[in-house]
Amino acid sequence: MEKSNFVDQIRIFCQSGHGGAGIKHFRRDKLTAYGGPDGGDGGRGGHIILKGNSNLWTLLHLRYYKNVVAEDGERGSDNNCTGRYGKDVIIEVPLGTIARDEETGKKEVEILQDGEEVIWLPGGKGGLGNTHFKTPTNQAPEYAQPGLPGEEGWKVLELKVLADVGLVGFPNAGKSTLLSVITAAKPKIANYAFTTLTPNLGMVEYRDGKSFCIADLPGIIEGAAEGKGLGHRFLRHIERNSILLFLIPADSENYRKEYDVLLNELQQYNPELMQKKFILAISKSDLLDSELMEAVKKELPPNIPYIFISSVTNNGITELKDLLWNTLNTPA
């Protein structure tokens, strides 16, 4: 597999801080020989916090960040002084990141907003000092609480790309070429399958300073929902796209079958994807004359907006931008 700076899943060991112990202490000074209890509470252990950062697009910066350990809270001290809290660890992640427990697979945190902070693993609570256990019948308690332990375990951070439009198609359908034409992105383009192994994002400049985000996703193959090819590694990225733009090349042998296979793989992976808005684009349409276009139209699925485009001649590109923008801004 090609080397890439795009990392969309990492496994890390996390441990939040242990709470500091409360202490057993009695006030003693030159004026007080037998004072009451004044043992302070222990400090809270440090949290592990996830924070959204819209300037990040990958988990690459965490690739070698294998152990995340927050600071323990300090024990209490005399004169009812609470121990210092353990220092929190803040992990910045791109928007669209999901945190899971590796053992159970349970989703624990989801980050969708810039600046959003969520306590992922809370630090242990500090123990109470003996001053809390004073009663009328026990005015000199000999007991203080230990701090509670923090949480620990192997965790998985998984990125699902946040984009308005996701390009869906078989390998070599022309997705990367289209992205390079309508955005400033520079994806790898070549005339063989699986040129794209990781998602590429680009911003489409629309009219009046408006823009929207489009993602060139790795090509689907039949059986992707069962993990064949790039399988689940690809499919999870389309879950957050508002619109799915199906790209079928003009030199396809069977347009309807190709569309049905793509649709089936999405449905097998997650039936909820069927609720998204679909648009169909026939790429490489410079290979077709008007007579062939009419023949192709008869093979296309009904009730799905379609458009003929050519990334080489720019034919239909402006109309495609209009269609995408209008669809994005039309209430469901």
Q: Is 144 helix (H, G, I), strand (E, B) or coil?
A: coil
Asked if the 165-328 domain carries CATH number 3.40.50.300, the reply is yes
Q: Does 165-328 match 1-159 at the fold level?
A: no
Task: Give the pLDDT confidence of 142-171 residue by residue, as tens digits.
Answer: 999 999 999 999 999 988 777 788 888 887
Per-domain residue ranges of the chain: 1-159, 165-328
Question: Predicted confidence band at 131 (pLDDT cuts at 50, 70, 90)?
Answer: very high
Report the DSSP beta bridge partners of residue 135: 138
Evaluate if residue 229 carries a pLDDT over 60: no
Distance of alpha carbon 199 from its chain centroid, rounded?
A: 13
Asked if the 1-159 domain carries CATH number 2.40.70.10, the reply is no
How far is Cα 167 from Cα 18, in angstroms, rounded to an integer? 46
How far is Cα 242 from Cα 67, in angstroms, rounded to an integer? 35
User: Contact 288/253 with Cβ under 8 angstroms?
Assistant: no
Evaluate if residue 252 carries a pLDDT over 50: yes
Percent of the chain whose predicted confidence (pLDDT) is above 90: 39
Question: 265-301 burial by CB neighbour count: b if 16+ within 10 A, else e?
Answer: bbeebeeebeeebbbbbbbbbbebeeeeeeebeeeee
Percent of the chain whose predicted confidence (pLDDT) is above 70: 87
Beta pairing class for 97-101 and 152-159:
antiparallel
Evaluate if residue 193 carries a pLDDT over 70: no
Task: Give the pLDDT confidence of 257-298 residue by residue, as tens digits.
Answer: 888 888 888 888 788 888 889 999 998 888 888 888 888 888
Task: Give the pLDDT confidence of 203-225 residue by residue, as tens digits.
Answer: 888 888 888 888 877 666 554 44
What are the phi and psi torsion angles at 177 (to 5°)? -65, -45
Distance of alpha carbon 234 from its chain centroid, rounded?
A: 13
* CA-angle at 177, arms to 171 and 183, nearest 5°: 130
Task: Give the pTM.
Answer: 0.69
Mean pLDDT of the chain: 83
pLDDT of residue 233: 57
How far is Cα 256 from Cα 23, in angstroms, rounded to an integer? 74
